[in-house]
Every structure is written in structure tokens, then in C-alpha cells.
Amino acid sequence: MSAATPAMESIRAESIVKSFGTIRALDGIGLWILPGELFFLLGASGCGKTTLLRCIAGLETPTSGTIHFGERDVTHMPPHKREAAMVFQSYALWPHLSVGQNIAFGLEERRVPKPEIRRRVQEVLEMVQLPGYGERSIDQMSGGQQQRVSLARALVVKPKCLLLDEPLSNLDAQLRVEMRREIRRIVKENGLTGIYVTHDQEEALAMADRMAVLSRGKIGQIGTPEEIYRDPRSAYVANFIGETNLIDGRVLETSGRTIRVGTAGGSIIGRLTDPDWTPVPGESVRLSIRPEAWHIGQEPGDNQLAGKIAERAYLGQRIQYWIDTPVGRQQVVEMNPRLIQVPGDGTVLLQARPEDVVVVRG
């Protein structure tokens, strides 16, 4: 299929506002998705991610703002003219049609000749690793197979853009992991620009080229998975992507992008990630420290908190501790643990490197 696949296309949204009565679901959204990029929209329920995807697909019309596919302004263009295909959470397959008939439906609507339909249906069945399944009925297919059929139906019309709305949420954990690899492979092998909506942080981290984290109709941050995880620019982003410990404090001194913060457990040095913000001494801030960034040590030093182990959970390859400190309970993760600490064993010292401490707005 790759030889006949249309050229990759960028997607640009500028100042997108979408209101439903007095509710503003999208509030000035702007983003640029590169050709061939697998881009994720994620955030908590009600943040606007699905509304934004539906605007891009043409299923909703923005109240204001514009959407471009490449050089084309598609803001008011009907969905079938956008050369984009959508995959839904519910699969949206017709149970009375066979697998092949479900896949062929869009081609029949476009009046594609029957020999071409048969050829393209077989082609996409092989692409989604379901060769020979064309005559099967939908109720004979597992959940994972039905999702592959849904993908095949989207791909058979040879779109330039593939839009996916929580496509794996109905699958069990093992199938989700398998389908993550499949979806990324299909997007990349076929030169598609993909936009993928999810609330699953692990899914986004594992699959995305870049992602946008949304909150209340606005974009909190755009970046690669590594940038979003390692360099969150707000407490919301830090807390939404993965797990983190948030500690309140006040700025004691600044040195470039390095900040010393006073906390109830002592001073801690961290770094700034927001290029548009430099806090001043006395300003309230928060520190984001990932559970794996804390290390349990023995000797006093910089960037330390003293505490007592309240709980633990041994998980084989790692152990989780919850440690009570003057700044609140801290979650700590140790990989491949050799020494298992016991709750109530006395005081322990937590230590984090300054480069692993992110200073965000209070």
C-alpha cells in the first residue's frame, strides 16, 4: 500500500475556540502537527481533547479559529473531503456485515469499482495482520481483532491523516500493549499523520512522537514524551504524566535557572523548566520530584529529607515506599531492590539530585 499512499500532510490548528452555549470547551487552542508525526492529545476527562479531535475531523465546527491540512483550509470542509479517517473507541462495526463488507463500506460509498475494492480489502487485511478473515462475521472476532478491522476500514480509503479516539480503552491490558505497537507500526509504515486521543499516560509515553497535555480547554504543554516527563512546566503536567511528589516551598535564592527553595524539611535545590518564568526570592513555588528520583541514603548531605517508612509494596522488579516527612508523605520507587527496608525501622534519609528536582509555579 505504501507506493500508493498519499504524501504525508501537516495539520495546523490556530486559535481554536469551541463553545457549547455558555461552556467554552476549547479556549484558543493552537498547535502544529508535523507530516508523518504520531501526535497525542491527552488530559483528564472534560479537558477538551475529544472536542479538538472532532473539530479536526470535521465532526464539529469551531466557534472561531482555523484548521489547515497542509495548505488547505478545512475549517468548514465536510469530513469526507478532508482525506482523514477516524477510528472510534466503540469500533462502530456493523454486526450484520462480514469483516470484508465492513472494510469495503467506505469504498462502496465512493463508487470504487468492485475489482479495486476486493484488491484493497485484501491489502489492508494483510496490513493489519488479518489475512483470510474477509468472510468472517464480526461476532466471531475478538476485541483485538475487531479493533484491527476498525483500523483496516479507516486505512482502506487511503487517508493522509489517521484520527484515533481512545481506540484501545475497551481492550484488556495485554492486548493494549500489543495494539500500541501495531498502531504505531501502521502509521509509520504507511506515511500517515496520526492524532491520537487518550487519557492513558503510559500509552502516550510509549507511542507518541510528541504530545499536548490539555487542561480546561487550554494546552498546558507540548513536547516529546521525554520532555513532558522530565521537564514539566506546571504542577498539573507533572502530576498528570506519571506520578510525582509535589512539595510546597518558597524561593530562597536564584542562580540562572537553578533555584534554592526553602521547605518545611529544609532547603532543596532544583531547576526551572519554564523558559518564560523566573521566580523571585520569597515567591511561593512547588517542587516536583518523581518517585524514582528519590534515593534512600545513610549519610547527611544536600537535597535531603528525613522521614520514617509508613508503608511498602514489594513488586518483584521494584519496591514502592511511602515515607512520612515534614513536607508530607513521599512516594519512593527503588528498582531491582537488594535491601528491603521495614516500616518503623527508624529514620531514613531521602536524597535527590538537583537535576531531578523541577521547580514549578505554586
pLDDT in tens, 32-60: 999 999 999 999 889 999 999 999 999 99
pLDDT tens digit sequence for 278-290:
999 999 999 999 9
For domain 2-230, give the fold: Rossmann fold (3.40.50)
**29/139: higher pLDDT:** 29
The band of 341, judged by pLDDT with boundaries at 50, 70 and 90, is confident
pTM higher than 0.85 = yes
pLDDT of residue 4: 47
Q: Give the integer Cα–Cα distance in Å for 25 and 281.
A: 37
Q: Give the integer Cα–Cα distance in Å for 121 and 155.
A: 10
Nearest Cα residue to 326 out of 268, 281, 264: 264
Enter the C-alpha cell of residue 139. Answer: 461476532
Q: Give the integer Cα–Cα distance in Å for 147 and 104.
A: 16
Nearest Cα residue to 134 out of 119, 154, 116, 114: 119
pLDDT of residue 170: 80
CATH code of domain 244-361: 2.40.50.140
Enumerate the domain spans of the chain.
Answer: 2-230, 244-361
pLDDT for residue 137 is more than 70? yes
Do 2-230 and 244-361 come out as alike in CATH topology? no
pLDDT tens digit sequence for 172-208:
888 888 889 889 988 998 889 999 999 899 999 999 9
pLDDT of residue 2: 44
Residue 138 to residues 91, 100, 153, 157: CA-CA distances in angstroms? 11, 10, 13, 20
Residue for cell digits 520532555? 227
The band of 253, judged by pLDDT with boundaries at 50, 70 and 90, is very high
Residue 8 to residues 154, 188, 215, 237, 248: CA-CA distances in angstroms? 16, 10, 29, 30, 46
Nearest Cα residue to 166 out of 77, 69, 47, 81: 47
pLDDT of residue 91: 72
pLDDT for residue 342 is more than 80? no
pLDDT for residue 296 is more than 60? yes
**264/144: higher pLDDT:** 264
pLDDT tens digit sequence for 62-116:
999 999 999 999 999 999 889 899 998 777 788 898 999 999 988 888 888 999 9
Residue 83 gets the label, from left (phi > 0), alpha (psi -120 to 50) or beta, of left
**Amino acid letter for position 55:** C
pLDDT for residue 7 is more than 70? no
What secondary structure letter does DSSP report for 34?
P
Average model confidence (pLDDT) across the chain: 91
Nearest Cα residue to 270 out of 362, 178, 157: 362
pLDDT for residue 5 is more than 70? no
Nearest Cα residue to 35 out of 12, 8, 59: 8
pLDDT of residue 65: 97
Q: How many other C-beta atoms lie within 10 A of the C-beta of residue 301?
A: 9
pLDDT of residue 346: 79
Q: Where are the alpha helices (DSSP H) in 161-200?
A: 173-189
Residue 98 to residues 75, 103, 166, 178, 335: CA-CA distances in angstroms? 35, 9, 24, 24, 48
CB–CB of 220/239 below 8 Å? Answer: no
pLDDT of residue 337: 81
Q: Give the integer Cα–Cα distance in Å for 115 and 94.
A: 22
Mean pLDDT of 145-152: 89
